[in-house]
């Protein structure tokens, strides 16, 4: 069995193909379920964001699974499979798992270090889980992936400094004003970046948003969208008095604000500082404004520079993150290997044999009256009871060993007999030779989607299949 991923992303596909392949919730679920129904995969999660569409599958045959994924994706997009082929990437095994971890750590994102992907992945997994498309392996794998994402965020500074113009502007504003509550922002012109910045500022607690545009209609429209108030463009000088942050992005060929206007405003605003952002080309704000005391003017180049430097920082942090991904991959692999039938049988036998031996030892005193022959008989009797009890489970497990659902049995046995606790010496030797990773405690807790719940669901399914 392999973890397989097949999909497209901003690195392999142009925007229009990504648009066609975007999956809404219903489509994501439909696609996953179709793959399960056809028997190409045992578990499936579909992840769709604006930059990628990916199918994660737990499948026996990785090539067949990839082919099935390709067919389904092509059908959804309404293109021929061979048209999709060049944009489609796929990995299986370690490659797929580390890809998943890199995605959750936002190492594969368009903007390295962006924070949304964790929530998006969580939603995709939750959807698949609620739709009954995941079981033991993916429940564990995806939750692990979310934790990897969290670990990367806390242990590296990958998402620390802003790498977009609007968030860099907000950070600088905070450097000047501290908390943004009780401050006012004045937006001049209705560009996309200024709207984005206003939204950012609002999220950071800014109170009042004023919008000024040459046409009052446009400013009303923008004001409605960002939750501000529209003001007359002609009264700009007046509103400047109450504005702490000014964002300008008009298409005017000349300066909208001159040094004199700002100086006049400063006389009335009693020298509270003012932070001005000019994102227009050609510039809206007279560069001389930066020389006014307590006025800080940053133009688009200054902000780009900030962004560039921060992006560079992030790339350095990304290398640290890659190391974390590699570590976590090893720990997941340890667990996946434990899902194989033969080692599990061996562990189970050892565990039961341990119980037998310790019970005999406990009775040691009382057995001392017995003769050697009698003691040998007790030994044999207990051994044969153990063997008889273990016979059927062993045979059944060997029977399912080749089947898709075998790992569900393995997981059930491991859970029922508590084989995962301190099982280091119970493992086959080739595993003991593996580098020991700190294994995370198993959680069968009361989270929204329980591993045990998933297991039962699927065991029932296999039951009906076989009936």
Partner 1 sequence: MEQTSVILLWLAYLLYAAAFAVFLIGFFTQRAWANRLGSVVVAVGLLAQTAGLFLRGVEAGRFPFVGLYESMVLVAWAVVLVWYVLQWFTKLKAVGLYVMPVVLVLLTVALVAYDPPAGLLPVLRSDIVVVHVIVMLVAIGCLYVAGGAAIIYLIEERLLRRRRTGGVLGRLPSLATLDRLIYHATLLGLPFLTMGMAAGVIRAETFRVQGWATDPMVLLSAAAWAVYLALIAGRVRGDWSGRAVSWLAVMGLVLLLVIRFAAVPYLSGFHTFGA
- Return the number of the residue (291 or 443) whose C-beta is nearest partner 1: 291
Query: Which one of 273, 333, 415, 456 is in contact with partner 1 (CB under 8 A)?
Result: 273
- Return the number of the residue (160 or 229) whose C-beta is nearest partner 1: 160
Residue 89 is encoded by which pair of tokens? 């990437």
- Return the number of the residue (221 or 290) whose C-beta is nearest partner 1: 290
From 38-46, 224-232, 234-242, 292-300, span contacting partner 1 (CB under 8 A): 292-300
Burial class of residue 100 (count of CB atoms within 10 Å of its CB; 0-12, 13-18, 19+) = buried
Residue written as tokens 């996953």? 32
Query: Which one of 61, 94, 114, 171 is in contact with partner 1 (CB under 8 A)?
Result: 171
Catalytic, 50? Answer yes
Q: Does 265 sit near partner 1 (CB under 8 A)?
A: no
Positions in 141-160 near partner 1 (CB under 8 A):
160
- Of 291, 204, 211, 276, nearest to 246 by C-alpha is 276
Residue written as tokens 């500082």? 273
Query: Which one of 176, 216, 324, 352 is in contact with partner 1 (CB under 8 A)?
Result: 176
Query: Which one of 11, 181, 225, 271 is in contact with partner 1 (CB under 8 A)?
Result: 271
Tell me the C-alpha distance between 274 and 298, whole Å: 11
Q: Does 167 sit near partner 1 (CB under 8 A)?
A: no
Positions in 371-430 near partner 1 (CB under 8 A):
none
| E strand or H helix that includes residue 252 | none
Instruction: Give the count of residues interacting with partner 1 (CB under 8 A).
Output: 26
H helices of 277-340, in order, are: 300-338
- How many Å is the Cα radius of gyration of the chain? 31
- Return the number of the residue (160 or 260) whose C-beta is nearest partner 1: 160
Tell me, residue by residue from 304 to 323, as one string, x for binding to partner 1 by CB under 8 A and - for no binding: -xx--xx--x----------
Measuring CA to CA, how many Å separate 38 from each of 69, 92, 341, 351, 467? 11, 19, 25, 38, 19
Q: Does 166 sit near partner 1 (CB under 8 A)?
A: no
Q: Does 350 sit near partner 1 (CB under 8 A)?
A: no
Q: List b or e across 23-60, with b for residues whose CB sees 16 or more CB atoms inside 10 angstroms.
A: beeeebbbbbbbbbeeebbbbbbbbbbebbbbbbbbbb
Phi, psi for 160 (deg, rounded to 5): -75, -55
Query: Which one of 293, 366, 388, 466 is in contact with partner 1 (CB under 8 A)?
Result: 293
Active site residues per annotation? 50
Return residues touching partner 1 (CB under 8 A). 160-161, 168, 171-172, 174-178, 269-273, 290, 293-294, 296, 298, 302, 305-306, 309-310, 313
């Amino acid at each position: 069995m392999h973890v397989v991923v097949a999909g497209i992303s901003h690195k392999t596909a142009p925007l229009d193909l990504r648009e066609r392949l975007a999956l809404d919730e219903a489509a994501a679920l439909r696609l996953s379920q179709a793959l399960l129904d056809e028997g190409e995969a045992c578990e499936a999660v579909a992840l769709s964001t604006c930059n990628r569409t990916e199918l994660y599958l737990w499948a026996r045959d990785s090539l067949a699974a990839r082919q099935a994924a390709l067919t389904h994706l092509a059908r959804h997009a309404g293109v021929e499979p061979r048209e999709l082929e060049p944009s489609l990437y796929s990995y299986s095994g370690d490659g797929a798992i580390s890809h998943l971890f890199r995605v959750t750590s936002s190492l594969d994102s368009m903007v390295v270090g962006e924070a949304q992907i964790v929530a998006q992945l969580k939603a995709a997994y939750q959807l698949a889980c609620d739709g009954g498309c995941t079981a033991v392996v993916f429940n564990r794998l995806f939750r692990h992936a979310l934790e990897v994402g969290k670990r990367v965020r806390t242990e590296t500074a990958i998402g620390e400094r802003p790498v977009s113009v609007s968030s860099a502007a907000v950070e600088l504003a905070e450097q000047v004003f501290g908390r943004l509550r009780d401050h006012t922002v004045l937006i001049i012109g209705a560009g996309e970046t200024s709207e984005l910045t206003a939204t950012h500022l609002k999220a950071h607690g800014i109170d009042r948003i004023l919008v000024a545009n040459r046409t009052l209609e446009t400013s009303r429209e923008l004001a409605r969208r960002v939750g501000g108030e529209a003001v007359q463009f002609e009264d700009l000088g007046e509103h400047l008095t109450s504005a702490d942050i000014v964002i300008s992005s008009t298409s005017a060929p000349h300066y909208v604000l001159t040094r004199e206007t700002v100086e006049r405003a400063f006389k009335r605003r009693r020298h509270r500082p003012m932070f001005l952002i000019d994102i227009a080309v050609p510039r809206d704000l007279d560069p001389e404004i930066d020389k006014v005391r307590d006025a800080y003017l940053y133009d688009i180049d200054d902000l780009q520079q900030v962004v560039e430097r921060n992006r560079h920082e992030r790339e350095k942090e990304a290398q640290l993150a890659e190391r974390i991904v590699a570590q976590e991959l090893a720990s997941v692999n340890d667990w996946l290997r434990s899902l194989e039938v033969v080692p599990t049988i061996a562990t189970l036998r050892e565990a039961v044999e341990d119980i037998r031996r310790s019970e005999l030892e406990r009775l040691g005193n009382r057995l001392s009256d017995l003769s050697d022959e009698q003691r040998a008989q007790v030994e044999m009797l207990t051994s044969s009871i153990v063997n008889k009890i273990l016979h059927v489970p062993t045979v059944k497990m060997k029977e399912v060993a080749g089947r898709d659902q075998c790992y569900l049995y393995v997981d059930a046995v491991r859970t029922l007999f508590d084989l995962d606790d301190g099982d280091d010496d119970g493992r086959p030797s080739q595993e003991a030779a593996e580098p020991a990773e700190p294994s995370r405690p198993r959680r069968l807790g009361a989270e929204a989607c329980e591993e045990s719940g998933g297991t039962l669901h699927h065991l029932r399914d296999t039951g009906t299949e076989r009936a």
